[in-house]
Amino acid sequence: MQMKHIVVTGGAGFIGSNLIQKLFEQYPGVRITCIDNFDNFYSADIKQLNIRDFKQLPEFTFLYNDIAETSAEEFAALIEDDVDCIVHIAAKAGVRPSIENPLAYQQVNVIGLQHMLDFALLKKVKQFVFASSSSVYGINDHFPWNEEEKLLPISPYAMTKLAGEMLGHVYSKLYDIRFLALRFFTVYGPGQRPDLAIHKFTKAILKDESIPMYGDGSTSRDYTFVKDTVKGIIGAIEYTATDFEIINLGNNYTVSLKELIHAIEDVTGKKASINQLPEQPGDVPKTYADITKARTLLSYDPQTSLKEGLNEFYKWFLENKELLMQ
């Protein structure tokens, strides 16, 4: 597809900023409008760091807006140029916080998406890529998970992501918007949010603090390196064959929490101190992606091993240690 102008919501966050960096590399002359409200879930300084390398480019426009509070008409007034694609990553993140404040997750993850779909309708945007989550699968022992599994979310966050997929299906059928829902599986790498395990554990080890390990360490995740995830997103940006798809973006193998901690110890060269805690409500015991559909439709082919990805993350962490260790 000929991409001239792409809107990325949540573009100052972890995945969004990695995506924007790659878009500028892959599409010479592309213009990016980034929408982000620097949600206080974590430090705005980290988000400023994420967009540091491209925020002064003339092809980059930043809008400081809350998608839950800004209407489609307001966005249309702010973004006057034609838009070729919307990549909607902005969301209230985190399973555990969603249990404490489910209404906030409804407002951002459902109403915010509604505003962006209505904006797409007003601007006649054909291509809409939505960041969903593997959490929609809930507890399901049919591994690896494919997109046809029965879905039983067990957290408000997961429920809002499933609602987002269905809202996109409605708009695809009613208004001929191509809607691609990408179910991300535990993305990690440079720029990773500080609340996520790899970032949190690395920081704790370097500060000689204990690592919180919920349960016995047997829970496992399909860890996916951010550059592989970004390639999948770009595949979705370029996809034109059908008008609605739900697609897993994982790494097609699973790593236990204990294995992850040992791998981080190897990368940092330091032993972790473990603080074992009870299992957390809303957490699933295992995630594991079947990526057959992504390979077929998006030519998706994740190549990064956990060791390689952790080394890249650790390099980024050390380069920005002064900010990240605060």
User: Which residue type is seen at 189?
Assistant: G
Task: Answer whether 217's CB lies under 8 Å from 261's CB.
Answer: yes
Element holding 164 (H helix, E strand): helix 156-175
Nearest Cα to Cα of residue 234 among 182, 192, 189: 182
Find the helix or strand (DSSP H, E) in which 260 lies: helix 257-268
Q: How far apart are CA 119 and CA 125, in angstroms?
A: 8
Residue 277's DSSP bridge partners are: 214
CB atoms within 10 A of CB 246: 19
User: With contact defined as beta carbons under 8 Å apart, do 131 and 15 qualify?
Assistant: yes
Place of tokens 């249309």: 76
Give burial (CB, 10 Å; 0-12/13-18/19+) of 60: middle
Give the number of residues written for the chain. Answer: 326
157 carries an active-site annotation: yes
**Of residues 27, 105, 137, 157, which has the active-site annotation?**
157
| Distance in angstroms (rounded) separating the CA atoms of residues 290 and 248 | 7
What stretch of H or E contains 21?
Answer: helix 14-26
Active site residues: 157
